[in-house]
Structure 1
Amino acid sequence: MKPLTALSPFKILPLLIPAAFLITIGTLWLPGHPELLNNGYVDTFKTAFLGILLEALPFVLLGALLSSLLRVFVPDEMISRWIPRRPVPAILFGCLLGIIFPVCECGMIPLVRRLMHKGMPLYVAIVFILSGPILNPVVYGATLTAFRSHPELAYARMGLAFAVSALIGLVIYATIRKSPLRLSIPREGGEEHHGTTRGGRLVAVFVHTSDEFFEMGKYLIIGCLLTAGIQTFMNHGSLTAIGERPLGSYLFMMGLAFVLSLCSTSDAFVASTFLHSFPAGALLAFMVLGPMLDFKNSLMLLSLFKTRFALYLFFLIVSAVFTGSVLASLWL
């Protein structure tokens, strides 16, 4: 058993910020708007929260399970041997992993953390985090179904996701030298820690899966709570009016993608409802930014990487997606 240790302020910070936000709203704003406490708003909040949570939990569990299977059954040397040594082929390999492992963004963090401790370079891991939730057959089929009358948006989504992921991977390769991981977990061999019998390894898989699942789950629940509150109480009419401006439509849709925190298999259907109100480039920005950077997975990224690197990554994602979607709108 591990000894109990005091919680670091940096570990409890992600819990304190949303708690302070909810307490502030409850004490200062809600008393002046008693209509927001009626059963209709409460039901909407519960429906939104449970909808986002239930949609995301299977993918978090899948990511934790894949992470545990890698930890127990895949030797460190195998992962290192698969990854090309040169950056460009390695980045292409990272994008290809998204097709092989169709994991949503919610399940990416535990899987990528294990891959990095198995020997995956940082820049390849970032490419996989960004491209994996979009460049897979499930998301492509969902996008094509949502935009069956405009299939070019499905092609553009795949192309822009690939371009943004590869570009950011090259930037990370050129600019980052030290590991930005928060925790340094020693590399471990399956024979030494998990036993040689099949039963012992299966038990280890379940133990590691539960540990990964509950560690990532707390950040997911916080994100779902805040996202459900935003969906319940924001004024849709005023936000739509802002989005009708040329530049505002892109910023609005990117902001909406961040706060709604939808799964990458369902966000295309939400984007399709704005098809006649927003330009195609803004819809593309919504569908590419959301899986790469939304509220809940930004908390997960902050739990995996040091704050300075996470903020640097956020800046690269937003800049690349905005620029790429504006350029893609010239073709759409």
Structure 2
Amino acid sequence: MFKTILLGILLETLPFLLLGVIVSSLMQQFVSERFIRKCIPRNPLLGVPFALVLGFLFPVCECGLIPIVRRLLAKGMPLYIGIVFIVVGPIVNPVVIAATYTAFRSRPDLIYSRMGLALAAGLLIGLIIYFFVKGNPLKNKQSAADERQHSHSCGLEKEHADIHANPHTIHTNKPNKLLTMVDHAGNEFFDMGKYVMLGSILTAAIQTFLPRTNLVDIGQAEFSSIFFMMGFAYILSICSTSDAFVASSFASIFSSSSLLAFLVFGPMLDFKSTLMLMSVFKKRFVLLLSVLIFITVFAGALLLGYWYFPSN
């Protein structure tokens, strides 16, 4: 039983994880941050919708988004746009939509509600950040710029050294973007694969060894099921390209609203992304953002449970 559930989850999950890291690596290598900055609207009120569209166009999971947004914030991107990008991007991008459709093709209501709740939560959080957060919450305002300047200087020094050592290699030392992309995709696949494997093992173990009556009792009670699945998503820290398959394995036990909470809360905030956020932003801001995400997702899932999923 355990092996069957585990293999089933992995066989459904890994192709989308691979697709996600390939697209993420392509975006990193061939789409410049300068291009993104040029697209940012000058009107602040258009910034939140722009961030929502940006999240749809860039199929990068939360692990890849946080470092990207950190660089963009250091280069002048408004805070609220970066936060909306972090919150919404891992859910509304094409790869995740395709994975969610594959996992819940018989449940289009969950597909639509996942995208709708993510967009609504991102819009609300972005507006709150825009109107109420006035200071700079970056943990180290100069760190990103210093890192870029340091790496640029190191690169120039290395290039000059190579030129002096062998002038004939001046045109042959440029990095191959395709090879760099493949290397990045491989590293990211194995890095994310650890979390996918851990999440799949825990999911299979819970369904195999935890008494089904206990799961049913938790899963059918509205409040407890939402709390349980949000906590489960936070602990698993599974990639958004794969979490739909984990959620679908609980579809017969847990309510639709709790599955929705799992699908939206996990990509927005989990254990590993919390650590990454705390390395970029001040703890007070991370706490504020965490509270906003929790409240909006919980309230949204609860409301949809009564309004959009009347049978649950």
- Fold conserved between structures, TM > 0.5: yes
Segments of structure 2 that go 5 or more residues without pairing to the other structure are 160-169
Pair 1:180–1:224, CA change in 2 (3 A): farther
Pair 1:278–1:191, CA change in 2 (3 A): closer
Segments of structure 1 that go 5 or more residues without pairing to the other structure are 1-40
Query: Separation in 2 of the partners of 1:175 and 1:310?
Result: 14
Query: Separation in 2 of the partners of 1:140 and 1:236?
Result: 30
Query: Separation in 1 of the partners of 2:95 and 2:303?
Result: 26
Do structure 1's residue 134 and structure 2's residue 91 form an aligned pair? yes
SS at match of 2:123: helix
Pair 1:199–1:82, CA change in 2 (3 A): farther
Pair 1:199–1:291, CA change in 2 (3 A): farther
Q: What is the aligned counterpart of 2:67 among 105, 110, 113?
A: 110
Query: Separation in 2 of the partners of 1:149 and 1:207?
Result: 39
Query: Separation in 2 of the partners of 1:279 and 1:154?
Result: 15
Q: How big is each residue's C-alpha offset from its partner over 1:184-230, in whole Å with a ceiling of 9 and x where there is no partner?
A: 322869998768x886663799999999x99x99x979978986896
1:285 equivalent in structure 2: 261
1:83 equivalent in structure 2: 40
Tell me which moved more, 201-210 or 139-148: 201-210
Query: Separation in 2 of the partners of 1:200 and 1:118?
Result: 28
Q: What is the aligned counterpart of 1:184 among 134, 139, 143?
A: 143
Do structure 1's residue 93 and structure 2's residue 66 form an aligned pair? no
Do structure 1's residue 254 and structure 2's residue 230 form an aligned pair? yes
Residues 91 and 267 in structure 2, CA contact (< 8 A), matched pair in contact too: yes
Report matched runs for 1:23-42 at 5 Å.
none
- Length, aligned pairs only: 286
Residues 262 and 290 in structure 1, CA contact (< 8 A), matched pair in contact too: yes
Residues 63 and 111 in structure 1, CA contact (< 8 A), matched pair in contact too: no
Residues 56 and 106 in structure 1, CA contact (< 8 A), matched pair in contact too: no
Residues 25 and 182 in structure 2, CA contact (< 8 A), matched pair in contact too: yes
Query: Separation in 2 of the partners of 1:319 and 1:52?
Result: 29
Residues 233 and 265 in structure 2, CA contact (< 8 A), matched pair in contact too: yes
Residues 55 and 93 in structure 2, CA contact (< 8 A), matched pair in contact too: yes
Query: Separation in 1 of the partners of 2:177 and 2:61?
Result: 24
Residues 224 and 296 in structure 1, CA contact (< 8 A), matched pair in contact too: no
Report matched runs for 1:92-241 at 5 Å.
92-176=49-133, 177-182=135-140, 184-186=143-145, 202=175, 236-237=210-211, 238=214, 240-241=216-217
Give the fraction of aligned pairs with identical amino acids, expressed as a percent. Answer: 42
The one-letter code sitting in structure 1 at the alignment partner of 2:219 is G
